Chain A
Amino acid sequence: MTTRTQPDLLYSEEEEALRAAVRDLLTDHCDAPGVIARTESDQLHDPELWKVLGDGMGLAGLLVPESLGGQGATHREAAVVLEELGRAVAPVPYLTSAVVATEALLACETDEAAELLSALASGRTIGALAVTLAAGPGAPFTSVRHEEGALHGELTGIADAAAADVLLVPAEDGGLYAVDADADGVTVTPQVSLDLTRPVATVTLVGAPARRLTPDAAPAVRRALRAGAGLLASEQFGLAEWCLTETVRHLKERKQFNRPVGGFQAIKHRLAQLWLEVVNTRAAARNAADALATASTDADVAVAVAQAYAAPVAVHAAEEAVQLHGGIGMTWEHPAHLYLKRAKADSIAYGTAGGHREALAELVDLRAP
């Protein structure tokens, strides 16, 4: 693959069409009251929405080659999907299954991995990498004990594990293993999560039957987490953009002191400032998606920059949304809190902004004192 000198930071016509299709679908299948109601239910993930996204539209297989039953598309398209999912805080395991678990499998060369890739691409099987959501690319991660074809140990903070059919588990022998979530010896226990739209869980393995995907888990995990971190920036962008748009809309309508609150200069400047941050986030997120799609030599930098920038912007946008809605923003009924919780959890997911800045310190040779 060649590396272009200039990354393509725009959206192609196909990408815009894809966005429109996903947005339509989410408008119909993922409205805010529904998402809020689901956070109060026992089933935090939305299986119907996942079915239309994955099975119906084929989006779960964007990163999987056509030869394995996928769409053979790239991170650029997956990023567009994530922008829309972020805008809707959709409770589906797209980032975790269609990006992170898929990327881990793409790094494995076994038939077992190829078979699983096809299954994940169809959307009918959901995969989760059993590494804590807090781990950034290159960070150490917990492994479990491997003994006579079975795994033993406990892993915490596993995002979307409760929805997963198959878990990709790193073991102490250095290998990465596939474990069926419904097999004997596997217990997935939901943890009470700050972000109920991407809940985490504990995975306990007691003699869980496991199939080896690769003897060398580290590069697979690293690749998976790098893609996760890079494309998360697109989700954060979509989330931030929703917060900005919705807040602007509210403040055009909301009147106090006999005039729209959005007309006060202090508010206008705040929102204009936030717009700048959102614009910057889009550029950084597109750059990361493009670098991943083209396997650019700049991908590590692009991902670290995107995550270091996008994470605080998404949090800021959500915090502004809550604040500038006033009392309504503090209610459970208004969706602003879903965005706040997602943005805050996202700021930890796949490494914090501080972690990514530290990675950059090495990458661009600006070392710590």
Chain B
Amino acid sequence: MTAAASTSGVLDAAELRRRTRELLEARPPAETDRLDFLKARFDAGLAWVHYPEGLGGLGAPRSLQGVVDAELEAAGAPDNDPRRIGIGLGMAAPTILRFGTEEQKSRFLRPLWAGDEVWCQLFSEPGAGSDLAALGTRAVREGDAWVVNGQKVWTSSAHLARWAILIARTDPDLPKHRGITYFICDMTDPGVEVRPLRQITGEAEFNEVFLTDVRIPDAHRLGEIGDGWRVAQTTLMNERVSIGGMRIPREGGMIGPVSKTWRERPDLRTHDLHQRLLKLWVEAEVARLTGERLRQQLVAGQPGPEGSGMKLAFARLNQEISGLEVELLGEEGLLYDDWTMRRPELVDFTGRDAGYRYLRSKGNSIEGGTSEVLLNIVAERVLGLPSEPRTDKDVAWKDLAR
């Protein structure tokens, strides 16, 4: 019997509410340092309640997280600023939870969740984007460590990250999906060089990362040698839900700002825009409900390929809605708030002005798997349609043309 169950018998909403209040009493947010509060919350199992005990959770149903969050929000407790640590929370954590050793889980998850340590994702390469499995970054075993050389690209948050999830080729003689191994890479290693890449928004949110003789202890390997592709699937599936699947209230996403503008600015209204806005409003609301339903379905457990559908809808709607908003603004739509080159701390798709939202949303259908690739996943894995003939699956990676 777990400690959780022993206090009240069942882990229901009432029990979680009770525990949350207990935490708030023990560590009143107003008098507690932010990080201390977050760590105490983690230790109380209220960080992500569906995670196991000792790792920030209680093994409770995922759907009960909302009870905790609402209680904490009402009490004015600090949150872990998920926009700053999206890759850690959305991608690294579920992968570590599923494939990590006990040491890895207890070393990495707490500072990850509290935002003490930022994570980034060293997956994409110049020659391996949609075809990620073609990656060429090499990891060679040397005693207890791996020596990594290669180049990664489009790495969001690399300039802030303490750790990275990394996939690299450990056996070029095997077909491409089989010779890959998954690692946790220390971004402070002297062989890691991060160079900013400026984006169409003017900011440099992502980076190029050059890896030169980076040493990764074997203890920081995640999963078996050669099993990296399978481990990466967990990351990618979670990435897609984490990009498109946030729980939001009605008008919570991109439809929010344009709806507000519409209400406040009767001078901008036209019949044409009105009908287009309402159509998008309906689609945004339905996408929100689909997400809600998906969450109810996977109360516990891993998201399946259906999650890809959420990200597809999210990307398209973000783009269409922000595009409509720029048009609605008319003369003001010709403006932009600021082109200054910055390396932002966090990314808010619905932040800044309409021009920024319009430009940034273009990335939503590229990052975390392009919409074309996700449509293929839906077609092949959800609908079971046959895949295109492949010439690259059974050939040794080293023999593929590049």
Contacts and interface: CB of A to CB of B under 8 A. Distances in A.
A348 B270 CA distance: 14
A358 B270 contact: yes
Nearest to B154: A327
Interface string B368-398: 0011100110000000000010111000000
Nearest to A198: B334
Interface string A123-154: 00000000011100000000000000000000
A332 B198 contact: yes
Nearest to A318: B362
Nearest to A333: B198
A187 B390 CA distance: 63
Given A337-B200, A358-B272, A191 B130 contact: no
Given A256-B134, A340-B200, A192 B339 contact: yes
A256 B335 contact: no
Contacts of B358: 344
The list of the 7 closest CB pairs from A to B, nearest first, reads A354-B272, A258-B392, A337-B200, A332-B198, A256-B131, A134-B331, A157-B331
Contact of B334 (A194, A255, A354): A194
Contact of A157 (B129, B334, B338): B334
Interface residues of B, number: 50
B327 A326 contact: no
A81 interface: no
B326 A344 contact: yes
Given A333-B198, A357-B272, A348 B333 contact: yes
Nearest to A270: B372
Contacts of B359: 337, 340-341
Given A257-B130, A330-B362, A330-B363, A191 B335 contact: yes
Contacts of A357: 272
A352 B372 contact: no
Contact of B337 (A192, A322, A337, A358): A192
7 contacts: A134-B330, A134-B331, A192-B338, A255-B402, A337-B359, A340-B359, A368-B271
Contacts of A329: 362, 366
B199 A330 contact: yes
B366 A194 contact: no
A255 B339 CA distance: 33
Given A256-B131, A344-B326, A327 B372 contact: no
B131 A257 contact: yes
A358 B271 CA distance: 9
A198 to B, nearest CB: 9
Interface in B315-351: 319, 323, 326-327, 330-331, 333-339
Contacts of A319: 319, 362
Contacts of A323: 362, 365-366, 370-371
B309 interface: no
Contacts of A326: 129-130, 366, 370
B197 interface: yes
